[in-house]
Structure 1
Amino acid sequence: MTIAEKLTQLHTLFAQMDRALIAYSGGIDSTLVVKIAYDVLGDRALAVTAESPSLLPEDLEDARIQAAAIGVSHQIVQTREIENPNYTSNPVNRCYFCKSELHDTLKPLALQLGYPYVVDGVNADDLSDYRPGIQAAKERGARSPLAEVGVTKAEVREISKFLDLPWWDKPAQPCLSSRFPYGEEITIAKLQRVGRAERYLRQQGLKQIRVRSVGETAQIELPPEQIQEFVLTTDLPTLVDAFRHFGFLYVTLDLEGYVSGKLNRVLAATTASVVGPL
């Protein structure tokens, strides 16, 4: 099926919904869903972004800018997953508790405002990855138009480019809690130091980066092809001083480079302690 055919199917899907509230993070997937929903439904589409300590302020600002460019109505709600010990203890199904909090917030809002559907940006490739948050969303009746139509991660970018969305090549930016190995407690202070460290690297012109927080160590991940240039051109002592100022004691560079979902490797090697449903 071509991307044009999939786009037509998405239009049909939203036309059948009549009114929809979109769980909108500002990432490439949910932004495409917002764009298509708005094109079909107009003011019967509402984008809602959850603000929490795991969302960088600049990502929230991007969400606002993108929603304004599309023209869709946009609301900000507060979520409090950071107050849930099942979340902050960082079990392997941490995302289940995050998405539970999100959809327990969005579903009542949708009912209150007269939106019969809550939809998200889950795509077809997400279904084959370890994503416990998808279960939480399904349990609360959320729908995933991209996954339903079979739109892959690559096709999300293709369709976004086809629709002339200027952020079609925006790097993936999952929540900051994804920077911590399972079992390491998540706190607001730790989220903030990771956020400051990643902001610092982006200000140096780097885009696709991660700063993993492993105890008191910052582990920098870059695309493999950028590692050598980074080492040769970066003022490393200045970088280390900056990261120590952010709260890290040690700074390392992952020589393998950035790999999406790298922290999930431990799931295949060990049996982690899980709180609640998988």
Structure 2
Amino acid sequence: MVTIHDKYRVLQENLKALGSVAVAFSSGVDSTFLLKAAQEALGDKVIAVTASSCSFPKRELEEAKAFCEKNGIRQIIVESEELDIDGFRQNPKNRCYLCKHELFEKIWEIAKENGMNAVAEGSNMDDNGDYRPGLIAVKELGVSSPLRQAELSKAEIRELSKEMGLPTWDKQSFACLSSRFVYGETINEKKLGMVDKAEQLLLDMGFHQVRVRIHGNIARIEVLPGEIARIVEEENRTQIASKLKEYGFDYVTLDLLGYRTGSMNETLEDKEIKK
């Protein structure tokens, strides 16, 4: 039987085989684990590259900086403004491809400038089961996916992260704020800011895994099923509704199915595009 520690050994071997690597680092569960594993495998032959944009909350950027500083990892922050990419604002179904292609081209440039042999990103085995157009860009640009290569799942990454003492082992899953928009709805700075403030409010109130999906000026809130009862308590319900209206939403709704990854992909009718 293959254990998670067997998989971790495979991960270490694969990372060592790269020789040196630039890790796309967002401070999320997966990229933090990958970056630390790369440091253990390659020492100072690792750099972290973090993209700064309006779809990346400031709290995540600050966490990324703090982690690299604490662990002695050299970090390079690159400006990667998705809204400047041709076609991105229109939010097509391949939005993530457009973003990742532009981002990884920049990371490759940084990697080469700094003498790194490879670029690595943190997708895991769970990402194989959803519509992930960004992985097409990963493949096209020759970016390594060490966690998928070692067949590590999200749950296994969390377990190993806990063993390693990483602060992200129980951190909420995160995706860029542009993923909160229904396909075809124009993405702009104002609405990205509305979503960011709304999700920060829920996190500050102690909700653990949140999404505020945006449909026009309607907010569709997703929290863990076990926290639905708490969010509809009178004091919480009225505070959330009042604040989100203050942020610019006209209507505030709660998704009774609760949080789930890729809920915007449920609207895709073309089954081929979801492969």
Q: Give the alignment's TM-score, normalised by structure 1.
A: 0.94
Query: Which amino acid in the other structure matches residue 143 of structure 1?
Result: S
Deviates more, 1:42-51 or 1:80-89: 80-89
Q: Which segment is superposed worse, 142-151 or 222-231?
A: 222-231
Per-residue deviation, 1:4:
1.0
Pairwise CA distance, 1:40:
1.5
* 1:205-216 equivalent positions in 2, closer than 5 A: 205-216=206-217
Amino acid at match of 2:162: K
User: 1:7-50: per-residue Cα shift (whole Å, max 9, x none)?
Assistant: 11111112111110001111110111100111121111001100
Contact 1:243/1:251, CA 8 A, preserved across alignment = yes
Structure 1 counterpart SS, 2:119: strand
Contact 1:103 1:137 in 2 (8 A): yes
| Aligned Cα root-mean-square deviation (Å) | 1.6
Which residue type is aligned with residue 178 of structure 2?
S
Partner of 2:60: helix, strand, or coil?
Answer: helix
Query: Which runs of structure 2 are paired with 1:130-209 in the superposition (5 Å)?
Result: 130-209=131-210
**Is residue 207–residue 227 contact of structure 2 (8 Å, CA) maintained in 1?**
no
Alpha-carbon distance change, 206 to 140 in structure 1, aligned in 2, over 3 angstroms: same
Partner of 1:54: 55
Task: Read off the aligned partner of 1:221 and give its amino acid letter.
Answer: E
User: For residue 121 of structure 1, what is the aligned residue in structure 2?
Assistant: 122
SS in 2 for 1:219: strand
- Counterpart CA distance in 2 for 1:69 and 1:167 is 14
CA drift of 1:240 comes to 2.0
Report the equivalent of 2:75: 74
Q: Which runs of 5+ in 2 are unaligned?
A: none
Instruction: Report whether the alignment pairs 1:4 with 2:20.
Output: no
Separation in 2, partners of 1:85, 1:221: 30
How big is each residue's C-alpha offset from its partner over 1:54-76, in whole Å with a ceiling of 9 and x where there is no partner? 10000111111222233211111
Distance across 2 between alignment mates of 1:242 and 1:128: 35
Partner Cα separation in structure 2 for residue 58 and residue 233 of structure 1: 28
Q: Is the 8 A contact 2:51 2:77 kept in 1?
A: yes
* Contact persistence 1:80–1:101 (CA under 8 A): no
Q: Match of 1:241? A: 242
Unaligned runs of 5+ in 1: none
- What's the offset of the Cα at 1:259? 1.4
Which amino acid counterpart does residue 102 of structure 2 have in structure 1?
E
Give 3-state SS (helix, strand or coil) of 2:233's partner.
Answer: helix
Aligned length, in residue pairs: 272
Residues 220 and 253 in structure 1, CA contact (< 8 A), matched pair in contact too: yes
Amino acid at match of 2:257: E
**2:25 partner letter:** Y
Conserved? CA contact 2:104–2:141, under 8 Å: yes
Q: What amino acid maps onto 1:181 in structure 2?
A: V
Other structure's SS at 1:75 match: strand
Q: Secondary structure at the match of 1:234?
A: helix
Q: Are 2:32 and 2:168, in contact at CA under 8 Å, matched by a contact in 1?
A: no
Partner of 1:94: 95
Taking the aligned partners of 1:20 and 1:229, their CA distance within structure 2 comes to 44
Residues 184-233 of structure 1: CA deviation (Å, up to 9, x unaligned): 11111110110011111111111211111110111111111211222125
Letter in 1 for 2:108: K
How far apart, CA to CA, are the structure 2 residues paired with 1:133 and 1:162? Answer: 30
Task: Please name the residue that 1:107 is paired with.
Answer: 108
Aligned residues of 2:38 and 2:46 also touching (Cα < 8 A): yes
The alpha-carbon distance between structure 1 residues 163 and 148, as it changes in their structure 2 partners (threshold 3 A), is same
Q: Give the 3-state SS of the residue equivalent to 2:123 in structure 1.
A: coil
Q: Deviations over 1:63-118 (max 9, x none)?
A: 11222233211111001221124211111111000101111111111111111100
- Output the CA distance in 2 between the equivalents of 1:239 and 1:15: 48
Equivalence for 1:45: 46
Task: Specify the SS of the correspondent of 1:26.
Answer: coil
Q: Which secondary structure state, in structure 2, belongs to the residue aligned with residue 89 of structure 1?
A: coil
Q: Tell me, in whole angstroms, the C-alpha distance in 1 between the residues paired with 2:30 and 2:163.
A: 14
- The alignment partner of 2:76 has SS state of strand
CA distance, structure 2, for counterparts of residue 199 and residue 62 of structure 1: 14
Deviation at 1:159, TM superposition (A): 1.2
Contact 2:230–2:236 (8 Å) recurs in 1:
no
- Helix, strand or coil for the counterpart of 1:87? coil
Whether the 8 Å CA contact 2:27–2:60 is kept in 1: the answer is: yes
Identity among equivalent positions (%) equals 40
